[in-house]
Structure 1
């Protein structure tokens, strides 16, 4: 231990710097970037936007004071560090090199006579018998012996000590009073209190709090309740999902100390419930009958009805309930996906249907936008009320979505909303510009296979979904109806195709032999059906770019922030594409059946020469096909040796690319685009659910991915073996 206490400052300075430097790096308030452009929600004159802006900036003075206080504390801490470093620099070094010449006050080149003369003078002066210092006299005698004795002098030159090699002492840079017997009891109690009481208590409290929560700070009891209620109702409507959401344990006082139960609730809640339809306050089902669940359900219904005349206490409770809902809804979706996975494993007989999962997803945009799913999505825009909706539907036009509203001409929009002021119209357009417009591209592959696009039964299919996010402003003045020129071109092309089909049909009728009467009935029906199926309506080119699917499986995105679900277009396009695939398969089946009927319906009086010519044609086609096959085999053998070495490298590169995409997606910050939601009490970022579903069988194929990082483009990969049905194979 340090005898003088000087070394303790070295230890204190080192430990202080070890704590201060990283703490300053992480906790020093970072300079906020100045916003060049304000969000439309911050500069809108819409009254809910003004109220939310004031609510978000109400704590700005306190926040600025907190930042100044943090900076002041760090400045004082660094001042203490500088003072402590200066104090350490003043500590003198106790260890000094032994110099006998300095003790005798002679030069290093002094002779033996000069050394003896200096010794006699100093011994007379410092001898103890003459009143001198004994310690000083010992040093003088030792220096004289060192310089006059050759052995002692050599030891001094070699080891720095005339007595030979010495012993090095090491100690702890702590003050000596810590091991003093007077303070032993105090030090022992301090150690025992820190390591045996304080630390275990801190760990115990932390564990008790953390053990109650799952991901996103969701109570484990809430997750268990969701398992029971969602597993009990595989077919669930939106209102049922809202009741399950309101029964979360986060809204119960004994589980959440942030919940406050007030005596005024006994008088205010019954009045509120009377003004709300379909609250189902008389239900006897547990836990929906409990007071906490009824209160949360009433507050959510009032939020969706956009009721603004709530009392101050109920308004505080409503804001807290609404803020917690997005995390709870995400947990509900995850649990429903787990129930579907349990059903695939044979552990559950009635899993949630696809409609139930999508109804749960609808809760998120409903609560964020404070709007029922049955209401018009145009009510998300500022200054648009129920009275304005009648202008969106007329004999000339029918506008039911925000996308249709964005594709209109500016003159038509302004004339349609002529009842509002120019300032309000500017607010609407500034909000409409930032709305998301999502396009989806899907690519299906089977890695480590000869034909990566061929999906067979049981094959592990990798779906790569590329999402591209743009602002709705790209659709301004771009109506989705086909222009007159494009319409004329499509009509002309269709007429030419019809004429070509008619000519081919006439040539075929001339070349084909006559059939019996009983087979003519069937053969006459088939060309008509085929011609009717080949006639398709002209499809706008903009409708075929959102998604691509295989068989009856569809890739869908569900927004969690806007009620105007852009996936309606994606779902519509996917269904349209599925129908075209089905039609093409029907055409091939029909053509095959026609050929079979013709073969079976040959007349008995047909000439043998015709049969011989047909047989010769079949032989020649068979020989040519055999030659082509042999040539292709030889070519495959020659190229197979060169490509076999590259197949493994290609597969490895693709696998590494998939891994990099997953790691990049996991490490990204959950920041995308700010949502316009004036009725939501916090700033909300855009989030999307991405999943693969089988709409024909109403089942979920892949677990939904909660995508919170979509800024411009994002790629998500799925690996599943449930795309191909058990009794067929198809090309995706």
Structure 2
């Protein structure tokens, strides 16, 4: 069988080809555009407030700018072009189907079924000859028939009859679709005629060379380079290198801010004349703002790189909420904050590689500063609406050695708190707004923290240990918060053997205050806390809680941080919006030290979005010798000895060194006789 390649001059096949290619590109792009976003920032609730900061329009402008970037305009245009192409090709397919000539079919010409016998075909032919023969048929003028049309139709009838009355011809038509048998395969190539015309072959080579030799390598290289030039924290590799050079074990939050100004991402934002324009104005405002320590001031003044110096000034202006009296500079001030927060994630990863606690804590606190737009050591009350430094100073008084936290302010009796705020300069509406926001902040309070090994009473050397943290969300200012009523909520019950749903945390046993099982919790969707209340941060940010173990004596991190973004129980009631005070369970697993002993640690639970909500407490990990656990197991076996005919009994006997005999044992050895006699005695007892 031969193969024939020809130009598809009828246009029968190229629409199918284009629909297939366009579908392969358009469908995935459309799915990526229409798929609901699973980002935490797009699924979390919001803290309700009417407060708008002074630069709310600039902050909102930056948010809209970011949303425009996330619209993925190129993908939308590509999807639109793809669907238009598919629609047009489908239209061409429909037109082609209507205009295409019908295939020659002898059965259709004679009007018989494909299962007709030769006798039936001959009978049908004779009937047609009575009406369709040219000597008997007359042209139908209403159908525009002519004598030539009648003759052609009769010729087709004769050919069809001959094709079906010969057995070999009929079999060929049934098997191969053609009376002449198997035919050569013809492929229609849908290319413009000028490309396949004689002498134009070079254009075909040019097209294929451009596609395969230029465009395809360019697209693959661009994708590969784009994926390799950033870290998993989405920071440029060059920026990570600069942050590594800036790392210092004795750094503080101010030092972290200076390190973040070294990112190469800023050079993409500040190009050309924007690289150093307005730097002098920024520095004069920042240096006179009273927010810099002497070390931070010296770092800014000694900066050599023009772009980095401007960025560092903008970062301090953002953290100090300093008005730069210039719309462009104020916009740039808010533009650098999200970049700095992304770089801070990379700086945390670098710091964790050195396992020193101080820089990690400084970086986490810098994250809080960036989200709340506050410099290091700023009054935590500045996180609330309408709170300013003069107002806070009046509330704190002159005898305060440390700044008042939001918790302390909200724990002050209502009348005294209102009096303090009113005298400081807040009116009743502003005061109510500040208090309302404070009561919605997701402050996570640790109720209990302990170590355990699943299924074991003791923690042995090198075993897999879980640090279990039981905590509740108690917003500041919540009055009469009762202690945990059901103490079993503060325990961590091991799942039953074989219960895969419980093992994987998909459900949990419910017990009452007396420890009696009352039911099983159904599987619940993870619960998100509300988005961070950060009116000056030009992005939506979902709070994250980081828990890690540190050795305070050596200033080292013993267990790297575990990050928690969702929780297993509702935080606020959906209808009343009041706190539920549910006990949340946080777990982090690590390997116990290789030697027995008592190991003191500090548990750090840090929220990356709020200042003053950190929880630090001491805890000791007791690792026991393996012999102690074995002795305890033996004592338990002696207290509760299982029956010998059970699997538990046989396992217990193996651990204790006994050998069980079968019931039909002949008692050939001493130990066997002894065990056999015991078995006989038990049997006699049973018979009695």
| TM-score between the two structures when normalised by the length of structure 2 | 0.63
Distance 1:697 1:162 in 2: 89
Given that residues 101 and 107 in structure 1 are in contact (C-alpha distance below 8 angstroms), is that contact kept between their aligned partners in structure 2? no
The reply to whether residue 699 of structure 1 matches residue 570 of structure 2 is no
Distance 1:165 1:96 in 2: 14
Structure with more helix by fraction: 1
Q: State the SS of the aligned residue for 1:689.
A: strand
The reply to whether residue 687 of structure 1 matches residue 531 of structure 2 is no
**CA spacing shift, 1:250–1:186, aligned 2, 3 Å:** same
Deviates most, 170-179 or 438-447: 170-179
Deviates most, 366-375 or 169-178: 169-178
Unaligned runs of 5+ in 2: 1-5, 113-119, 140-146, 509-524, 572-583, 600-620, 625-688
Distance 1:59 1:240 in 2: 28
Distance 1:693 1:213 in 2: 30
Structure with more strand by fraction: 2
The equivalent residue for 1:492 is none
Once the two structures are superposed, the pairs formed by residues 114-125 of structure 1 within 5 Å of their partners are 121=135
Q: State the SS of the aligned residue for 2:95.
A: helix
Given that residues 366 and 373 in structure 1 are in contact (C-alpha distance below 8 angstroms), is that contact kept between their aligned partners in structure 2? yes
The reply to whether residue 414 of structure 1 matches residue 418 of structure 2 is yes
Q: Deviations over 1:80-132 (max 9, x none)?
A: 4663453244243542312597499x985257798699779599x9xxxx999
Q: Deviations over 1:495-528 (max 9, x none)?
A: xxxxxxxxxxxxxxxxxxxxxxxxxxxxxxxxxx
Q: Which has the higher contact order (CA 8 A, sep 6+)?
A: 1
Distance 2:186 2:322 in 1: 76
Q: Deviations over 1:201-243 (max 9, x none)?
A: 222233333322112321112222333332xx32222322222
Once the two structures are superposed, the pairs formed by residues 28-427 of structure 1 within 5 Å of their partners are 28=34, 39-40=47-48, 43-49=50-56, 52-53=59-60, 56=63, 80=88, 83-84=91-92, 86-92=94-100, 94-99=102-107, 102=110, 109=123, 121=135, 142=159, 145=162, 165-167=181-183, 169-172=185-188, 174=190, 177=193, 179-181=196-198, 183-230=200-247, 233-251=248-266, 253=267, 261-262=274-275, 264-265=277-278, 267-272=280-285, 274-275=287-288, 277-278=292-293, 288-340=303-355, 352=356, 354-393=357-396, 400-418=404-422, 419-427=425-433
Using the TM superposition, give the Cα deviation of residue 150 of structure 1 relative to its aligned residue in structure 2, in angstroms: 5.6
**CA spacing shift, 1:335–1:288, aligned 2, 3 Å:** farther
Q: State the SS of the aligned residue for 1:701.
A: strand
Q: State the SS of the aligned residue for 1:704.
A: strand
Distance 2:12 2:349 in 1: 61
The equivalent residue for 1:445 is 452
**CA spacing shift, 1:141–1:160, aligned 2, 3 Å:** farther
The reply to whether residue 460 of structure 1 matches residue 464 of structure 2 is yes
Unaligned runs of 5+ in 1: 341-351, 481-539, 549-646, 662-667
Bigger radius of gyration, 1 or 2? 1
* 2:479 counterpart (470, 477, 480): 477
Deviates most, 678-687 or 187-196: 678-687
Distance 2:42 2:253 in 1: 42
**CA spacing shift, 1:295–1:405, aligned 2, 3 Å:** same
Given that residues 24 and 74 in structure 1 are in contact (C-alpha distance below 8 angstroms), is that contact kept between their aligned partners in structure 2? no
**CA spacing shift, 1:696–1:655, aligned 2, 3 Å:** farther
Distance 1:91 1:205 in 2: 45
Given that residues 44 and 529 in structure 2 are in contact (C-alpha distance below 8 angstroms), is that contact kept between their aligned partners in structure 1? no
**CA spacing shift, 1:390–1:140, aligned 2, 3 Å:** closer
Q: State the SS of the aligned residue for 2:504.
A: helix
Distance 2:276 2:319 in 1: 25
Using the TM superposition, give the Cα deviation of residue 455 of structure 1 relative to its aligned residue in structure 2, in angstroms: 2.7
RMSD over equivalenced CA pairs, Å: 5.4
Q: State the SS of the aligned residue for 1:678.
A: coil
| TM-score between the two structures when normalised by the length of structure 1 | 0.60
The equivalent residue for 1:638 is none
Once the two structures are superposed, the pairs formed by residues 524-603 of structure 1 within 5 Å of their partners are none
Distance 1:286 1:395 in 2: 32
Using the TM superposition, give the Cα deviation of residue 162 of structure 1 relative to its aligned residue in structure 2, in angstroms: 9.2
Q: State the SS of the aligned residue for 1:218.
A: coil
Deviates most, 411-420 or 273-282: 273-282
